[in-house]
Homo-oligomer: A and B are copies of this chain.
Amino acid sequence: MKRIILAAAALLLLPAMIMAQTKKSFTLDDLMWGGSNYWNLQPKSLFTAWWGDRLVELGPDEVRRSTDEKGRSVYPEVMFTAESVNRLLTDSTQGQVRNLAYARFPYADRSEAFLQTGRINLLYDWQKGQVVWTQPRTAGSSHEDFCFASKSVAFVKDWNLYVTTADGRTHQVSTDGSRELVYGQSVHRDEFGISKGTFWSPDGSLLAFYRMDQSMVTDYPMVDIAHRVAQLAPEKYPMAGMTSHKVTVGVFNPATDRTVYLQAGDPTDRYFTNIAWSPDSKTVYVIELPRTQDKAELVAYDAATGERRGVLYTETNERYVEPMHPIVFLPWDSSKFVYLSRRDGYNHIYLFSKDGKELGQLTSGAFEVTDILGFNVKSKSIIYRSNEASPIRYNNYRVDVKTRKRTLLGAAEGVHSGGSLSASGAYLVDRWSAPDKYRRIDLLSTTKSTLRTLQDAPSPWTDYAVPEVDCGTIKAADGTTDLYYRLVKPAGFDPARKYPTVVYVYGGPHAHNVDESWFYAMRPWEAYMAQKGYVIFVLDNRGSENRGFAFESCTHRHLGDIEMQDQMKGVEFLRTLPYVDADRLGVHGWSFGGFMTTNLMCSYPDVFKVGVAGGPVIDWKFYEVMYGERYMDTPQENPDGYRSSSLLPKAKNLKGRLQIIVGYNDPTCVLQHSLSFLRACEDAGTQPDYFVYPGQGHNMMGRDMVHLHERITRYFDDYLK
């Protein structure tokens, strides 16, 4: 299979010379987020929100209603302006509304917009032209979690958790918070889909929250140089096989000012994930795993007493189970919930009764459900996203809970993001792109055909000489599995020439690099490199995401091995291309891709001449417990796997030019990785290069992105070109 995308300009039948003269060249400032010209090239965004089933378009200064509750266009109807609100905020302690793009319309039956200033939360009734409710925001707070049902807001200040109720009263939930004892924040290092630490009950009367005791966890000593004298900025970092933190879940009741903790037993070496509430606000559900991650139990707790009601469902897998989605109750039947499970090898939707009885599998097949967007209440269907049509295509679908009939929503092509469902689920704002479409935003009915296109953003690159991009498949090292690649050809491509070629790689779980989005998801730097005369090749090897459990987990206990075998099949393929100069092969990747890059440079020193490895894992024993042990088990359980996957013994093999680049303050892949590798190279007499970005973390932010990619490019220019 092979697909080719040519930019519109490239299809014009003009001589190449003239084209080259009339088209602009990219600079990194054009292409990179953080570049000085980046935003000038980006088509204007369209922000939307729902007021019940009515679509609202949000500007910084005004909000406009776009449809009525039947999806009929009323555009443009200005609902209100920031100025009209701010005019009412005369008290200097109230602050001013700065941007309406964050306005929300939580009550379908009331014309009240939820807005924030730096000082207060407020509800503005745009029909009455009145601020109908305010609530103070606490200075220095973070992790705010506002509940529209009760108008209570949870927040963290100075490591402690607080709740301010609708009446403006502030309740202190915890008093002993510290960096060792963390309340109301995400736990388990954001694994298992965890991204926050507070969970309001549906009626807003109770707040479930995480409490994490990490006093027993080793500090990784990071250093912040941005002081008169550099200061220690330690990070609690549980490394593979070492003592981990202990998490408990509390439920706070603002009405009684009391907290009960779920009676989950000894939290040592356990994970408490995917917190959910029953629709009646009486039961808390937690998906619990032992540290071995080979079992997931859905456990129900009485929210009022913390009493453990029992295990509703258990899933086991000798490799690992990785629940990423809390259960969700059917809005039209509070006795049933849906559960996402990969137990048949792919992530699918299952229906359960609330007592844990399995009622059936709603989706099935060799594809993965990636998200549940919500429900269409009227049609009793679930709206979800999957890559059913093709492993690299992501569409939204509706599945009828009764008939299990699946219906595609919106355009068949491309990569659709989750989108945003209206209150009843009748309408969907569908954001998507395709290889030749930069960004489309459609307003869909989830039961009927497309209503209308809200935005069809043109390519921001029409004035530029853009590269030709191929997409296709090759066979994995197992001889049977299809792997998807992207191949970016140099600007002014001449098939008779031989080009230096760089393999860009990630290769780890929870990510893919090739799909049917714009230019097959080409990263802007690839366009830059193509312009400079490089071929870029990107292959999603086994171990990467959304191809099923077997595809992802075949790397279990020996990360790197199968991934590299597949990448070498990519190299085999490249060698069949007459325009690829196999004597000038480079490789570049970040994070897991930095691990892959370093590994490839040291495992195939005669194949790859130049590599740039960003924020690499060097030895999985330096990585954290949650992610690391899922794929590698502990060093105690899998000594051979840790030994053979470590790049420290391979440091001696380095022949080509390898530059390792890290954020000096990387809390994810700590500097011990790269520094240990340097030490090993120094001891072995090999010569890697190294660079650091002080103040940056695992990924570069802002203008450093330009600097970084200038640096990466220069390295290939110096040694590969």
Contacts and interface: CB of A to CB of B under 8 A. Distances in A.
Interface of A: 218-221, 223, 225-226, 228-232, 234, 237, 239, 242, 621, 664, 670-672, 675-676, 678-679, 682-683, 685, 687, 689-695, 703-704, 706-707, 710-711, 714, 718
Contact of A693 (B219, B225, B621, B678): B678
Number of copies: 2
Given A229-B220, A229-B242, A230-B670, A707 B679 contact: no
Contact of A672 (B229, B683, B707): B229
A225 B672 contact: yes
Nearest to A36: B685
Given A678-B694, A682-B707, A693-B678, A671 B714 contact: no
A692 to B, nearest CB: 6
A226 B228 CA distance: 27
A332 to B, nearest CB: 52
A676 B225 contact: yes
A671 B239 contact: no
A185 to B, nearest CB: 22
Contact of A230 (B225, B672, B685, B692): B672
Query: Interface of chain A, helix or strand or loop or mixed?
Result: mixed
A162 B430 CA distance: 78
27 contacts: A219-B232, A220-B229, A221-B221, A221-B231, A223-B223, A223-B671, A225-B671, A225-B672, A225-B675, A228-B239, A228-B242, A229-B242, A230-B670, A232-B234, A678-B692, A678-B693, A678-B694, A679-B693, A679-B695, A682-B693, A682-B694, A683-B703, A685-B707, A685-B710, A687-B707, A690-B690, A718-B718
A718 B710 CA distance: 19
Given A675-B694, A678-B693, A685-B706, A229 B237 contact: yes
A670 B689 CA distance: 21
A691 B689 CA distance: 7
Contact of A220 (B226, B230, B682, B706): B230
A232 B229 contact: no
A87 to B, nearest CB: 41
A229 B218 contact: yes
Q: Which 8 A-B pairs have the closest CB atoms?
A: A221-B232, A675-B694, A679-B694, A218-B229, A230-B672, A225-B675, A221-B223, A682-B707
Interface centre among A219, A230, A232, A692 (most CB of B within 10 A): A230
Contacts of A710: 685, 687
Nearest to A700: B682
Contact of A229 (B239, B675, B695): B239
Contacts of A689: 689, 691
Contacts of A690: 690-692
